[in-house]
A = this chain, B = another copy of it.
Amino acid sequence: MNDVTPWPAGLPVRADGRRTHEHLLAAARATFAEEGTDASLREVARRAGVSIATLYRHFPTREALLETLLRQGFDILRARAADLVASPDPGEALATWIRELAVASARYDGLPASVMAALRDPESTLHASCAGLRAAAGDLLAHAQRSGHIRADLDADQLLAAVNAMAWATRQASWTADAGDRFLSLLIEGLAARPVQPTAKSEEC
């Protein structure tokens, strides 16, 4: 009776419950794709053919819903980073991973903001996934920085913020097809370590 969260960990046990779960996920994918991660959850429930209370029973918060949608992709990205960290060219490995991360972050409008918010808030259901992403980014970044091809004045949080910023930019207008790549190329070239940059006014090296 007091069990507010019916499934503390795992899927619903009954068959119809699991069906509803899948319907909700499909509806959320479609709705978030069209309207962004701030879309009305009532609309998600409507599309799933389910009442709003049912949605909240399955996913107590919007972030929990997002987490389920994103977990698989984020896990893949973490594994990808673990592979790439052994690459002979750490700079290129980082660039490759950044491009893949950016594709994931640009999937839904508003997703970059959700990820950044989750990183900030340890209580968020999304926090663990996003922190994992940050750790993966940190590993790749550290290797690339040690190789000397990537500027050293940057940490994993700032890298994630920058990649998400480019994903954000990609979502802000109906660009030509290659605009997203251009934003990423701006970032990736900006990441390159340069001997001394005449335009930079940095005092410490």
* Residues of A that sit less than 8 Å from B by CB: 91-92, 95, 113, 116-117, 119-120, 153-154, 157-158, 161-162, 164-166, 168-169, 172-175, 179, 182-183, 185-192, 194, 197, 199-200, 202
In the A-B complex, the 9 residue pairs with the smallest Cβ-Cβ separation, listed nearest first, are A190-B190, A186-B190, A165-B169, A165-B165, A116-B172, A161-B169, A189-B190, A95-B199, A168-B168
Contacts of A113 in B (CB 8 A): 172
With A164-B172, A182-B153 known as contacts, the answer to whether A199 contacts B190 (CB < 8 A) is no
**A173's contact among B120, B175, B188, by CB below 8 Å, is which?**
B120
CA distance A95 to B172 in the complex (A): 22
Residue of chain B at shortest CB distance from A150: B199
Contacts of A197 in B (CB 8 A): 189, 192
Contacts of A162 in B (CB 8 A): 166, 169, 183, 186
This chain's copy number in the assembly: 2
- 14 A–B contact pairs at CB < 8 A? A95-B199, A120-B172, A154-B182, A161-B173, A162-B169, A164-B172, A165-B165, A165-B169, A168-B169, A185-B190, A185-B200, A189-B190, A189-B200, A192-B199
**A189's contact among B116, B172, B174, B194, by CB below 8 Å, is which?**
B194
Give min CB distance, A35 to chain B, whole Å. 15
**A91's contact among B119, B154, B187, B199, by CB below 8 Å, is which?**
B199
Contacts of A157 in B (CB 8 A): 173, 175
**A186's contact among B116, B117, B119, B191, by CB below 8 Å, is which?**
B191
